[in-house]
Amino acid sequence: MAQLWGGRFTKQTDEAVKAFNDSIGFDKRLYREDITGSIAHAQMLGAQSIISSDEAGQIIEGLKGILADVEDGSLAITNEYEDIHSFVEANLIDRIGDAGKKLHTGRSRNDQVALDMKLYTRRKTMEIRRHVSGLLTTLLSLMEENTDTYMPGFTHLQKAQPTTLAHHLGAYFEMFKRDAGRLDDCLVRMNYCPLGSGALAGTTYPLDRSMTASLLGFTGPTLNSMDSVSDRDYLIELMSALSLIMMHLSRFSEELITWNSNEYRFVEMDDAFSTGSSIMPQKKNPDICELVRGKTGRVYGDLMSLLTTMKGLPLAYNKDMQEDKEPAFDAIDTAEACISLFSEMLSTITFRKEVMRLSAVRGFTNATDAADYLVVKGVPFRDAHGIIGRLVLHCIDENKSIDEMSLDELKAFSPAFEEDLYDAVSLKTCVEKRLTLGAPGPYIMKRVIAEEKEWLSSWNSRIADEIA
């Protein structure tokens, strides 16, 4: 028996229709969740005397046997079944006979699939949280090592003001920290159990929905059976959170690709995380970053796909909803792989600190500080801005940096320049004096790092306590 229905049919399903309708090809990955959910359902049916405790016991043993056999490879999930629910139920009946036919009492595949997807998505969200935590840990240790690694900060991709590598990486830390919060939020709203909602209108059996919800680690049961079987918000929320993670990874990738270019040479990618060219022997390409950037579009597409699927659906369950699985699985697989590979790659990158420093020295990133110097000497800021602008133009012609100009040359631009200018516009001073909260000055940066470290360790202990 490969089908769960058929009583009211007089003809076999057309082959092409079966292939079109079946979901086993992609929902087989839900086998563990399907079995776990069924075990809880059977336990509750027994506790409520809807089936006998002997029958419940047989069902639970049978289900555990199926799980063990699937996991050790002795039982293959084949395409003859319509979906994973049919596979599990048919195998259960094969194994234990009539008691197996009672498992589906008070249940529909509509609440069953809603439960399976929630259990799966919850597990995966937790795994993804751990990958995000790994990435945050890598970032934080790079930040700790690089509070004195000077580099140019950019606006419009033009050198703007000096900063440090710790500060630049710290911007990504904030992004992924917000992502961590979004994953937390998704889990809070996701964690309500739809089991017991039946096809759409509950059931006449005296189910104990709180019992199954608590057996399965949910905060509680959902409160409207129609919504329960047709809610896919949690998938859309997760895919939105994953899209943001991908957007952040993609921006980071774009920067690393630029930094790895022959022109920038700020970083050297590890050989293990780069690839070569079949024709150009000199090439070492940042393919991981390019793929992460490329796969971002794919995750956005998954999100758009499900949003579009859901937009016109009447209540309650419609088969359209089977189309939630491939995009959700794809988004989860893609984001998970990208986050974990990206963090590994990041931890093996070499930053060429001297190249970064020279780039900051040569790019007039201290021009604002030179203007501020004049302000301290009594020149109004707007005038100081004009003076330094003219000075920079001159320096570009002379191919010099501001601090390579002699004091006499400087005085031709403003009599306010004195010997202490050189110290005031040195890269070290420019960075060290940026001490507003959130700025790159190493003193304040270290305080921020300490605060983030504390946050990360408390987040880590919170996510370690979770039901996995």
CB nearer to ligand ARG: pick between 23 and 243: 23
Kindly state the number of chain residues that form the binding site for ligand ARG, as judged by CB under 6 A: 10
Q: Could you say which of 38, 43, 91, 110 contacts ligand ARG (CB under 6 A)?
A: 110
CB of 82 to ligand ARG, least distance (A): 7
Q: Could you say which of 258, 322, 368, 426 contacts ligand ARG (CB under 6 A)?
A: 322
Tell me which of 52, 53, 141, 277 is the catalytic residue.
277
CB nearer to ligand ARG: pick between 316 and 384: 316
Report the distance separating Cα 211 and Cα 192, nearest Å: 12
CB of 317 to ligand ARG, least distance (A): 6
CB nearer to ligand ARG: pick between 235 and 444: 235
Residue 13 sits in the site that holds ligand ARG (CB under 6 A)? no
Residues 27-86 that bind ligand ARG (CB under 6 A): 27, 83
Window contacting ligand ARG (CB under 6 A); options: 106-114, 150-158, 163-171, 256-264: 106-114
135 CB neighbour count, 10 Å cutoff: 26
Report the distance separating Cα 338 and Cα 131, nearest Å: 10
Residue 353 burial (10 A CB sphere; 0-12, 13-18, 19+): middle
Q: Are 199 and 170 in contact (CB under 8 A)?
A: no
Residue 228 sits in the site that holds ligand ARG (CB under 6 A)? no
Residue 113-142 contact track with ligand ARG, rule CB under 6 A, x = bound: x-----------------------------
Window contacting ligand ARG (CB under 6 A); options: 123-131, 316-324, 333-341, 347-355: 316-324
CB of 68 to ligand ARG, least distance (A): 24
Window contacting ligand ARG (CB under 6 A); options: 41-49, 118-126, 315-323, 427-435: 315-323
Tell me which of 74, 156, 406, 461 is the catalytic residue.
156
Residue nearest to ligand ARG (CB): 322
104 belongs to the catalytic site: no
> In the numeric block, which tokens belong to residue 370?
């030179």
CB nearer to ligand ARG: pick between 156 and 319: 319
Residue 237 sits in the site that holds ligand ARG (CB under 6 A)? no
CB of 209 to ligand ARG, least distance (A): 19
Window contacting ligand ARG (CB under 6 A); options: 11-19, 60-68, 313-321, 399-407: 313-321
Report the distance separating Cα 44 and Cα 228, nearest Å: 19
- Please measure the distance between the N-terminal and C-terminal CA atoms of the chain and give it in whole angstroms: 34
Report the distance separating Cα 70 and Cα 74, nearest Å: 6
CB of 33 to ligand ARG, least distance (A): 12
385 belongs to the catalytic site: no
CB of 49 to ligand ARG, least distance (A): 28
CB nearer to ligand ARG: pick between 137 and 322: 322
Q: Are 417 and 407 in contact (CB under 8 A)?
A: yes
Residue 109 sits in the site that holds ligand ARG (CB under 6 A)? yes
Q: Could you say which of 321, 328, 427, 463 contacts ligand ARG (CB under 6 A)?
A: 321
CB nearer to ligand ARG: pick between 317 and 364: 317
Residue 240 sits in the site that holds ligand ARG (CB under 6 A)? no
Residues labelled as active-site residues: 156, 277
Give the interface with ligand ARG as residue ranges (CB under 6 A). Answer: 23, 27, 83, 109-110, 113, 317, 319, 321-322
